[in-house]
Amino acid sequence: MAMNYNAKDEVDGGPPCPPGGTAKTRRPDNTAFKQQRLPAWQPILTAGTVLPTFFIIGLIFIPIGIGIFVTSNNIREIEGNVFMYYGLSNFYQNHRRYVKSRDDGQLNGDPSALLNPSKECEPYRRNEDKPIAPCGAIANSMFNDTLELFQVGNASDLTPIPLKKKGIAWWTDKNVKFRNPPGTDPLEERFKGTTKPVNWVKPVYMLDSDEDNNGFINEDFIVWMRTAALPTFRKLYRLIERKNDLHPTLPAGRYYLNITYNYPVHSFDGRKRMILSTISWMGGKNPFLGIAYITIGSISFLLGVVLLVINHKYRNSSNTADITI
């Protein structure tokens, strides 16, 4: 607008000239930034610069891929610690209504949230006028089959294999994120005024006899509460620790798996699985990464070769111009 414009003019023209007589108040500063002449690195992606990169990617990725692939394939041997998983399929733990149906405040031991759970827990918020602890659809649908593993001895006798319940949940979840309601009373007292989730057989304070694995900090419960990303998932159930270095944890032989069947999956066409697996530095068996690395490495190498050819041809045709200079 005219007025702003003029005001600016007057301001700029107004101040007296600096001593020395150069009356260039409007003169722009000669700084590298203002003149867009900051020193700069000016890389260009040409075949010449990219070629080595392609080869390097190929040379690095293929060995990595092979390494991963071999590691992944070696996992079947039952050595070292063995991890026992249960798997469910067609179970939508990632459904939005399901994912949000929890109260993190309550699970963190907040006494007010314990008695007045979040609305997000509906319709698993209250039962018979009592707040449900732990509230919500996730807690309500906690996996409650019991898996027991026995080794079948020579005389068909069953030796139970000790399954460790602790160490299956994230350390931070167990120690920070999940907490029982505060107090020194027995757990049952601390959960007073609440009721168990509808589908549960036992209240939350009776999940385990171990005080350190009971209530909200029961690790089976914590593991279940970490909702899976995909409808087919597995969750860590138990650890089978290696007794000594000389013997394999689960030596070859016959085993007997006893499942106490509580958890209904037929209604939604689901499946249950039990997985025993060892773990390498890169986790469980998964051929994907290894194959992907090998593939990408090879493609990259191949592209490098193609580019080299193109570059060579191009160079021959255009070099004449450069030489004449």
Q: Which of residues 5-44 bind other proteins (CB under 8 A)?
A: 5-7, 9-10, 23-30, 34-44
Q: CB-based contacts of 269: which residues, under 8 Å, 6+ apart? A: 90
Q: Which stretch binds other proteins (CB under 8 A): 85-93, 183-191, 245-253, 254-262?
A: 85-93
Per rule CB under 8 A, is residue 231 in the interface with other proteins?
A: yes
- The letter for the amino acid at 176 is V
Give the x/- contact pattern for other proteins in 267-296, rule: CB under 8 A: xxx-------x-xxxxxxxx-xx--xx--x
Binding mask 51-80 for other proteins (x = CB under 8 A): x-----x---x--x---x------------
Q: Give yes or no for a contact between 137 and 96, defined as CB atoms under 8 angstroms apart.
A: no
C-beta closer to other proteins: residue 43 or 154:
43
Among 126, 165, 234, 272, binds other proteins (CB under 8 A): 234
The only residue of 104, 115, 126, 148 in contact with other proteins, by rule CB under 8 A: 104
Report residue 16 as tokens: 């007296």
Q: Which CB, 155 or 266, lies closer to other proteins?
A: 266
Contact present, 151 and 162 (Cβ < 8 Å): no
Closer CB to other proteins, 158 or 228, in the complex = 228
Nearest residue (CB) to other proteins, 41 versus 155: 41
CB contact set of 81 (below 8 Å; sequence gap of 6+): 239, 240, 241, 242, 249, 278, 279
Alpha carbons 232 and 93: distance in angstroms, whole number: 9
141 binds other proteins (CB under 8 A): yes
Question: Among residues 123, 153, 162, 186, which is the contact residue for other proteins, using CB under 8 A?
Answer: 123
- Residue 218 near residue 208 (C-beta atoms within 8 A): yes
Q: Cα separations (Å) of 281 from 158, 247, 270, 324?
A: 33, 21, 31, 59
